[in-house]
């Protein structure tokens, strides 16, 4: 399979959309000899923080000398980065090799009367096959949506199931209440496999996970809250259960994510020195990431109300009382009204963009919505491209102004590329 043939195959599968369920991935993996059962797995679900916990835990396991497969989504800079070994993205040649095998099985499925797997299912299968062929010691799997019916949930006995914070997102698929959403996420809890849960804002949500753990005879563990020691724009120092740590990731919310990875690593009996090195070495793009200092320019993938609240808290913590120039774009099926209600009090203005996604809200529609919130001609300005938005935001800033790009992760990679170049 050439790279062009692989990309064509991926485009075809994208047209199938998102369809939850395990029947297609089960049939596909049967035809790939169920290689996913041969690599020890760590499974992570939740609304926000999944990717960061994956990054911390991958770095910790690498620091302990392990070969670590990492499967996350969506991509920020390149589709290849969704599948990594020791934080190195799969190459085009490697991807073409594993997707060739996946496509053969997909074609056979259709020939035998089965539905064609979706894009996410084919990528999941490719990740499983890649980690198996590369002899990974561990594979860390981030769910795509929910948990119970997510294609990553085909794994039978994870070493540990991790659940991050639960809030409202993907309600059309997962439910309209937090306990309903939690019930879908709890689907990754497997019989006799330990589960680790971040502190939740709603005790009823925690109880959903406790109950599921009891049903599955799984040991239930809660993440211990980290204690902040110091923070500035170079990083944050903190402790978890008496272990002193430092992270270069800046968001206030990252301490809880780091503490989650630390708790998981201890359940896996990883030595403390590897935990400390791993946390210190962790890098993760587009999560309150400082891209430049003149003016200060941040990039954050907060794309739902809880993500916006976390970004708001970080901005207020580092820059109390400052007004922010925002670059933003969002998908129209997100609860964007609540997102922007959170950010409006600290907004100097917005430059809006249209993310590269068929579900995107147009820059013009978003600017019109935001303009209703403040009677000022230049409060919300639609831009024809991300590059235009970045240029206008930096031009409008002075040495006292903060610029922050936030919203859909589908355009943060382009922001990073433009600003860093």
Q: Summarize pLDDT for 365-411 with one digit per residue, the tens.
A: 999 999 998 867 789 999 999 999 999 999 999 878 899 999 988 89
277 and 295 assigned to the same domain: no
Q: Which domain holds residue 260?
A: 3-281
Query: pTM for the full model?
Result: 0.94
What confidence category does residue 309 fall into, taking pLDDT thresholds of 50, 70 and 90?
very high
Q: Domains in the chain: how many in total?
A: 2
Average pLDDT, the chain: 94
Here the CATH number for the domain that contains residue 372 is: 3.90.190.20
**Closest alpha carbon to 392 in 319, 287, 285, 297:** 297
Residues 209 and 312 both lie in one domain: no
119: domain CATH number? 3.40.1190.10
Kind and range of the H or E element at 228? strand 227-232
User: Would you give the end-to-end CA distance of the chain in angstroms?
Assistant: 33
> Does residue 168 carry a pLDDT above 80?
no
CA angle centred on 380, ends 310 and 326, rounded to 5°: 35
Percentage of residues of the chain with pLDDT beyond 90:
82
215-236: pLDDT as tens digits: 999 999 999 999 999 999 999 9
Q: Which residue has the higher pLDDT, 228 or 79?
A: 228
List helix spans (H) across 152-202: 171-174, 178-185
Last residue of a domain, one of 241, 257, 281: 281
pLDDT in tens, 131-146: 999 999 999 999 998 8
Verify that 254 and 297 share a domain, yes or no.
Answer: no
Does residue 271 sit in the same domain as residue 319?
A: no
Longest dimension (CA), the chain: 64
* pLDDT for 7 beyond 90: no
Helix (H/G/I), strand (E/B), else coil: 292 = strand
Same domain? For 272 and 294 the reply is: no
Question: In 3-state terms, what secondary structure has residue 108?
Answer: helix
Residue 9 and residue 42 in one domain = yes
Residues 153 and 44 in one domain: yes
Q: What is the pLDDT of residue 392?
A: 97
Q: At what angle do helices 50-63 and 272-281 cross, to 10 degrees?
A: 130
CA separation for the pair 416, 378 (Å, rounded): 25
Residues 6 or more apart in contact with residue 183 via CB below 8 angstroms: 148, 175, 208, 212
Q: What single string gives the DSSP state of each residue in 313-347?
A: HHHHHHSTT--EEEEEE-BTTS-HHHHHHHHGGGE
* Count of CA atoms in the C-beta half-sphere (13 A) of 241: 15
Q: 248 and 346 share a domain?
A: no
pLDDT tens figures, 56-71: 999 999 999 999 999 9
In the structure, what pLDDT confidence band is assigned to residue 164 with cuts at 50, 70 and 90? very high
Do 392 and 252 belong together in one domain?
Answer: no
CA-CA distances (angstroms) from residue 179 to 19, 174, 182?
22, 10, 5
Residue 170 reports pLDDT greater than 70:
no
| Cα distances (Å, whole numbers) of residue 44 to 57, 103, 270, 354, 377 | 11, 27, 18, 30, 44
Both 297 and 335 in a single domain?
Answer: yes
337-366 pLDDT, tens digit each:
999 999 999 999 999 999 988 889 999 999
Question: Domain ends where: 226, 252, 281?
Answer: 281
pLDDT of residue 407: 93
The more confident residue out of 122 and 376 is: 122
Q: What is the per-residue pLDDT for 233?
A: 96
DSSP state of 376: -
Residues 188, 94: one domain?
A: yes
Same domain, 310 and 236: no
For residue 275, the model assigns a pLDDT of 98
Which residue, 281, 308, 339, sits at the end of a domain? Answer: 281
Q: Is the peptide bond before 371 cis (omega within 30 degrees of 0)?
A: no
């Amino acid at each position: 399979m050439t790279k062009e043939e692989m990309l064509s195959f991926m485009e075809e599968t994208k047209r199938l959309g998102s369809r939850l369920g395990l029947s297609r991935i089960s049939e596909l993996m049967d035809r790939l000899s169920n290689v996913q059962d041969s690599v020890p797995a760590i499974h992570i679900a939740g609304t926000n923080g999944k990717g960061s916990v994956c990054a911390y835990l991958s770095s910790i396991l690498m620091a302990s000398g392990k070969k670590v497969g990492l499967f996350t989504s969506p991509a920020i800079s390149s589709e290849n980065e969704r599948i990594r070994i020791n934080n190195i993205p799969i190459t085009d040649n490697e991807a073409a090799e594993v997707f060739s095998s996946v496509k053969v099985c997909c074609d056979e499925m259709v020939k035998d009367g089965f539905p064609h797997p979706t894009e996410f299912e084919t990528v999941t299968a490719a990740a499983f096959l890649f980690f198996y062929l590369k002899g990974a010691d561990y594979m860390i799997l981030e769910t795509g949506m929910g948990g119970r019916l997510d294609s990553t949930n085909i794994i039978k006995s994870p070493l540990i199931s991790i659940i991050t914070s639960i809030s409202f997102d993907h309600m059309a698929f997962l439910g309209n209440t937090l306990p309903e959403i939690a019930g879908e996420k709890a689907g990754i809890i497997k019989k006799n496999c330990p589960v680790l849960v971040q502190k939740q804002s709603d005790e009823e949500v925690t109880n959903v996970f406790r109950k599921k753990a009891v049903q599955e005879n799984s040991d239930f563990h809660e993440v211990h809250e980290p204690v902040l020691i110091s923070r500035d724009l170079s990083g944050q120092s903190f402790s978890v259960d008496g272990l002193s740590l430092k992270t270069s990731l800046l968001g206030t919310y990252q301490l809880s994510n780091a503490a989650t990875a630390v708790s998981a690593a201890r359940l896996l009996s990883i030595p403390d020195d590897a935990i400390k090195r791993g946390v210190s070495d962790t890098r993760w793009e587009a999560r309150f990431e400082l891209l430049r200092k003149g003016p200060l320019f941040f990039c954050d993938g907060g794309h739902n109300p809880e993500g916006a609240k976390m970004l708001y808290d970080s901005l207020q913590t580092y820059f109390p009382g400052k007004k922010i120039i925002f670059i933003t774009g969002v998908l129209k099926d997100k609860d964007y009204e609540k997102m922007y209600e959170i950010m409006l009090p600290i907004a100097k203005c917005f430059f809006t963009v249209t993310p590269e996604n068929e579900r995107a809200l147009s820059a013009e529609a978003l600017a019109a919505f935001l303009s209703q919130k403040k009677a000022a001609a230049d409060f919300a300005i639609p831009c024809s491209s991300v590059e235009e938005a970045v240029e206008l935001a930096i031009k409008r800033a002075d040495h006292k102004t903060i610029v922050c790009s936030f919203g859909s992760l589908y355009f943060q990679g382009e922001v990073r590329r433009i600003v860093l170049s």
